[in-house]
Structure 1
């Protein structure tokens, strides 16, 4: 009995972005070796030798100018623009964060799916945390990335994409400090393209998130992303991140302020309002366990700070720099 040889991979290029990723970047670039035709690494002001390490591996490097604020969206656009300048740029491009390593089987699976589904512009798979046992915060990341299989609204930082649709919708929105992939995917879906999450291993991520302060910053960044996404697209039929913003403000700001106010004016009513927290905790615990539920509820305060920060800066006409947690 003869078996058919697997179909050869189409030509795929890659864009990797990073800032002071050190050994994680080296592992990322090594995981792409032999998997893609060319790699463009976009560096956002690293001081740890990342540029030299990438160049030593024969990788094309784009160093972002420091006169403009660094964002992941700006870095991805710069990488895509550099690929477009090269001879015969590939139709497919793997986007990756520099703290991730590619699964050896991912590209074959993802490319085959895209070949069978010409209306799909983006495919992503399972991103896993490399060391979920290192901390509870790492485990939260790993669980967060276990998204539903099938057609999706958005992808994360790692995904295989068709280059033409990205150009068609104008690429990433460079001013976003977070949430740039969901915003891009929203515009792609409006243009008639699809986004899919496959049941396949894709990347290993190294969060190195071991402290409460890191988790808090990451949650605050999420709140900022929710608010900005809702500001940009909340009035559209998709109601982009409107519910997430409202939940952050309700549980993280509105209810605590109401409890404090009524503690002075009508103490019994304050006590009654405060009961909403254990009730919500019990409801969430039934679905995700007590500890994760407690952090989900507590995280709404950090998210609310991010929401408020976005709107205060917007009213003052100011931008917001990166919120980095590591």
Structure 2
């Protein structure tokens, strides 16, 4: 069998569990494609898959040990082989995709169902493509649960993350007034992406803002509905990409609210809905993923250590 390099871990834990080993190259099943990976990323989802934190991740990944030993969710590369039932892709096609339950993409090759694979727009390079899907996919889920109108007031908490930086670009065409939070070094970046007002969270607490908002998007889960509620207008909406303390962001939407202010938990749509939206923005030039740093596969542990600090800006790309 042909061999490939892959980043693996056989137990949950810290980045020092990660090893680069030589494994057998996978063979695509009938409805799968084999992809030669050129680039992948390390995201918060990857870190949750590595550490199995929160504990609920184990119910999806394997209770005692991970069912998939190869790490990675996002990928971009080219089709190297196709299953016998695949006629929508050909060898050499440039493709990208992701699976938040694990694509095993931090390797030289991967196999995956064609439902996880999409064509890369002509003007998008493979590093950009790898950084374009997961965060933007969740940002799309935020957008689709809003009724944005010109002149509305919105706040994006965590505007420099993979989700927040994509969401910031996606809301610009709606002609809304955008307030965003970031640290000092990213103020100019966030301004260039469309934020009108910016809170430097190292110096200011946005919860003391005298303004009121139609939507507050907490893309990093570092606030709560309780803290943000005073900032919401009547009929204002708080959304978070995280479960929240004691899973409150999941069950609050099920409770009858004491006021018109409410919580929406943006359960992600299927990738077949978000990918065309993201691809369209890439083609139009209205979305460009923010790339913070690049690491080779051999330095993957360092990439995870960096992302686990919570200080990344946009996306961290791994070159294969």
TM-score, normalised relative to structure 2: 0.28
Structure with higher strand content: 2
TM-score, normalised relative to structure 1: 0.28
Structure with higher helix content: 1
